Amino acid sequence: MTVRNWLAPLLVCTALWGCSSGPLKDLGAKISDAVQPKAEKDLAAGVKLYEDGDYRRAAKLLQDSLDGGLSRAADQASAHKYLAFTYCVTSRERQCRDEFKKAMDADPGFDLDAAEAGHPIWGPVFRGVKAKK
């Protein structure tokens, strides 16, 4: 193989590498947005709002993520879990219980971690739902 045969591809790659801060970077951002569906973005935003204590808006985005078609069972269970937490902390125990059931239905291996399961507000509700499964 002569130098001339591999020089052209090398120069093209070098030129493209230098463009990574311009149009190619923008293209990468667009591809990233397309790869992460809106439902997953709504789930992440809903969890963040929950953590910030904005339960009303969190519940809306969490429900939007479910309505938007979360594809992974673990994501569906997570959305239902945070909806359950939201309902429990706002004194809506029936809805809290229903969301824990939905989380378990979405992902049969669903469970709370030790800190979550020991929470004084939703821990007893979760244990009651789990005992009936």
* Model pLDDT for residues 37-63, shown as the tens digit of each residue: 999 999 999 999 999 999 999 999 999
| pTM given for the model | 0.73
In this structure, is the dihedral angle defined by the CA atoms of residues 78, 83, 89 and 92, taken in order, positive or negative? negative
What CATH number has the domain bearing residue 119?
Answer: 1.25.40.10
Domain around 65: 37-132
| Residues 116, 103 share a domain | yes
Q: Same domain, yes or no, for 20 and 48? A: no
- pLDDT tens track for 14-44: 444 454 455 544 544 444 445 569 999 999 9
Q: CB neighbours of 5 closer than 8 A, spacing ≥ 6?
A: none
Residue 81 sits in the same domain as residue 21:
no
**Proportion of the chain in helix, strand, coil states, percent, rounded to 5:** 75, 0, 25
